[in-house]
């Protein structure tokens, strides 16, 4: 069984985000970039399935600029067997990524696709669902547990107020939640081995996919600055402020 995992290059989660002066987007120049944390979980789960003898190959895919090769090398250091970079300078939106992944799934004859539930840069939470619809296969989002047996996936997924367990036939799409696993650190020997693993570079047009953006970002703004809190002397003063200033009572 082949598993395909999509990994995205994003601004590192420890970096304080800064909006560009022209409000055209987020500043990425001279900013530390890393793999989307939810995608790390997806790679870890795929590698665990291979180590358990369930999967035969793990393919990591990234879509974006040339520097995304670094993200793929990280995925291969964790345990992916090979990488595919769909290289483009266009702003890739969820539908375009889903179309690219669909073409690769069909080309590689993949039985299981694991994606992070969302990327921490745009928080779209759309690609997995769109991919499942395009492929016309079952999907399980926000997975906190995944088991594969007899060509079926049993997934425990997070829902409002608890969790539910569903079963679906493969091929299928699964998106990962934080509780699914804890990704391993890439060791130095594995980082060195990853440099020798195959990495294929193609273009969206090689897959007959039009990746032209359909949505235009008008401007990006910082969130409004919150006012500083104040201390009150007693409950009466608190009630007065909630009534007259906050107008919540």
**Digit-coded pLDDT (tens) for 22-34:** 888 888 888 898 9
Concatenating the DSSP letter of every residue in 186-220 gives PPHHHHHHHTTS-EEEE-GGGGT-----SS-----
* pLDDT: which is higher, 19 or 201: 201
Question: Which residues, at least 6 apart from 163, have a Cβ–Cβ distance to it below 8 Å?
Answer: 144, 156, 157
Q: Which domains does the chain have, with CATH numbers?
A: 2-244 (3.40.50.620)
Predicted pLDDT at 165: 95
pLDDT for residue 246 is more than 80: no
Cβ neighbours around 167 below 10 Å, total: 12
Q: Where does the pLDDT of residue 81 fall: very low under 50, low under 70, confident under 90, or very high at 90 and above? A: very high
**Digit-coded pLDDT (tens) for 194-225:** 999 999 999 999 999 998 888 888 888 888 88
């Amino acid at each position: 069984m082949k598993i395909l995992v999509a990994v995205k290059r994003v601004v590192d989660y420890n970096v304080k985000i800064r909006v560009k002066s022209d409000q055209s987007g987020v500043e990425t120049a001279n900013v530390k970039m890393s793999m989307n944390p939810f995608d790390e979980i997806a790679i870890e789960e795929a590698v665990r399935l291979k180590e358990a003898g369930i999967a035969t190959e793990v393919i990591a895919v990234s879509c974006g600029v040339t520097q995304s090769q670094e993200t793929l090398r990280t995925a291969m250091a964790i345990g992916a067997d090979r990488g595919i970079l769909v290289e483009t300078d266009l702003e890739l939106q969820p539908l375009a990524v889903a179309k690219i992944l669909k073409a690769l799934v069909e080309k590689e004859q993949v039985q299981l696709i694991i994606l992070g539930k969302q990327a921490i840069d745009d928080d779209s939470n759309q690609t997995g669902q769109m991919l499942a619809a395009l492929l016309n296969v079952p999907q399980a989002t926000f997975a906190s547990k995944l088991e594969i047996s007899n060509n079926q996936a049993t997934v425990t997924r997070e829902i409002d107020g608890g969790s539910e367990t569903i079963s679906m036939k493969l091929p299928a799409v699964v998106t990962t939640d934080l509780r699914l696993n804890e990704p391993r650190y890439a060791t130095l020997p594995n980082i060195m081995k990853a440099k020798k693993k195959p990495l294929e570079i193609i273009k969206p047009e090689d897959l007959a996919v039009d990746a032209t953006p359909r949505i235009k970002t008008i401007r990006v703004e910082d969130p409004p600055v919150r006012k500083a809190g104040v201390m009150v002397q007693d409950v009466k003063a608190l009630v007065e402020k909630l009534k007259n200033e906050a107008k919540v009572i």
